[in-house]
Amino acid sequence: MSIIEKAFNKAKGQGQITNNPIQVLNEDRNLLNVTGVEKETCIDVSKPSTTSSPNESKMAEIDWVKLAELGFVTPGDSNTQAIEEYRNIKRPLVNNAFGEASSGIDRANLILITSSVPGEGKTFTAINLALSIANERDKKVLLIDADVARPSVSKTLGIQSSPGLIEYLEGQDVEFSDIVLKTNMPGLRIIPAGKQHKHSTELLASNRMVLLAQQLSNRYPDRIVIFDSPPLLAATQGQVLAELVGQVVLVIEAETTPQSMVMESASRLASCDVVFTVLNKAKSTGDAGYYGYGQYAH
Ligand SMILES: Nc1ncnc2c1ncn2[C@@H]1O[C@H](COP(=O)(O)OP(=O)(O)O)[C@@H](O)[C@H]1O
Ligand SMILES: [Mg+2]
């Protein structure tokens, strides 16, 4: 049994989590381990007052060359192993969002990518998942950089910084349409983190954030919304955000993150509907390095 399974089983034993494994892939190589957790809804918020479509106009050019150099799975990539790994990771998430499994999961199209501590691969996973889903012909993805203390989505994608989530949450005449960027990938839009703010924790926990999550779910039921989140154990922001979404992906850095931290993270996610775990950066058996590129290992 892996550390992750032990952690989740222990949390389950303590009554914190109902553990319902969805799938374990490539377990022999420790490639991907996905665990689903079903529980009652996290929060209840009222309906948004407006249903009008935002006027999204600004355009951002993703630097594909830079992204490929950083090891991301870009469109046209021929790394079949990495592509297959992301397919395996996104399939249950997309099924929960749009498939038959979606009934009973509130805000299933909102997905939070988090981890216990910084550096485990949240941004790497969030961007690769967003690209992989948006690369499907009929799928649309909105990627939101909600790791406002250490934002890195814009920088990684090679996009100029611009007003983002924080400015919107401050509410100073910033409309939703002001912060959404179209990209040169037709199915992908981005909301940058925005400026550093000393009260970012309060802003992420504000009513405006709750309303935004509700509106994203109601207005864009046909779109996957991926939040790149702060780590769970560094501050309360990640946990607060986890309660606003329908699905959570807990990224765990293989052979690095201690079991005690994974268990603490699992307990902080105990009230969430669906939690998946992704074991990242695991080494291939008999191979000194990472898995090929995409290298994620799970
Ligand atoms: N599976 C992976 N294979 C190769 N490099 C990775 C992988 N996951 C993360 N990285 C790299 O590790 C570093 C930390 O990852 P990052 O996604 O920025 O972590 P976080 O967002 O959790 O702080 C980055 O340089 C990222 O490109
Ligand atoms: Mg990050």
Choice from 124, 283, 295 to test ligand 1 binding pocket (greatest atom count within 8 A of CB) = 124
Please work out whether the CB of residue 298 comes within 6 Å of at least one atom of ligand 1.
Answer: no
Q: Could you give the number of structural domains in the chain?
A: 1
Q: Can you tell me the mean pLDDT for 163-183? A: 93
CA of 167 to the centre of ligand 1 (A): 27
Does residue 232 sit within a domain?
yes
Say if residue 246's pLDDT is above 80: yes
Mean pLDDT across the chain: 80
155-168 tens-digit pLDDT? 999 998 789 999 99
Contact 189, 141 (CB under 8 A): yes
Does residue 289 sit within a domain?
no
Please work out whether the CB of residue 296 comes within 6 Å of at least one atom of ligand 1.
Answer: yes
Q: Which residue has the tokens 């991907």?
A: 32
State the sign of the Cα–Cα–Cα–Cα dihedral 206, 276, 102, 84. positive
Does residue 130 sit within a domain?
yes
Please work out whether the CB of residue 280 comes within 6 Å of at least one atom of ligand 1.
Answer: yes
- Per the structure, the complete domain to which residue 11 belongs is given by 3-280
Does residue 172 sit within a domain?
yes
Q: Report the relative pairing of strands 110-115 and 181-183 from DSSP bridges.
A: unpaired
Closest residue to atom 8 of ligand 1, CA basis? 121
Does residue 295 sit within a domain?
no
**Among residues of the chain, what percentage have pLDDT more than 70?**
76
Q: Can you tell me the mean pLDDT for 246-272? A: 96
CA of 222 to the centre of ligand 1 (A): 29
- The single-letter DSSP state of residue 283 is B
**Among residues of the chain, what percentage have pLDDT more than 90?**
63
144-157 tens-digit pLDDT? 999 999 999 999 99
Does residue 285 sit within a domain?
no
CA of 46 to the centre of ligand 2 (A): 31
Closest residue to atom 9 of ligand 1, CA basis? 121
Does residue 224 sit within a domain?
yes
16-50 tens-digit pLDDT? 443 333 333 223 223 333 333 333 223 323 333 33
pTM, 2 dp: 0.82
Q: Which residues in 59-74 are b (16+ Cβ under 10 Å) and which e?
A: ebebbbeebbeebbbb
The pLDDT assigned to 99 comes to 79
- Residues 199, 201, 207, CA angle at the centre, nearest 5°? 95
The domain that holds 227 is classified in CATH as 3.40.50.300
**Alpha helix stretches (DSSP H) within 14-159:** 64-69, 80-98, 122-134, 153-157
Token pair belonging to 119 = 């550096």
* 3 state DSSP class of 264: helix
The pLDDT assigned to 1 comes to 52
Does residue 290 sit within a domain?
no
Among the ranges given (97-106, 191-200, 261-270), the one the predictor scored with the smallest mean pLDDT: 97-106
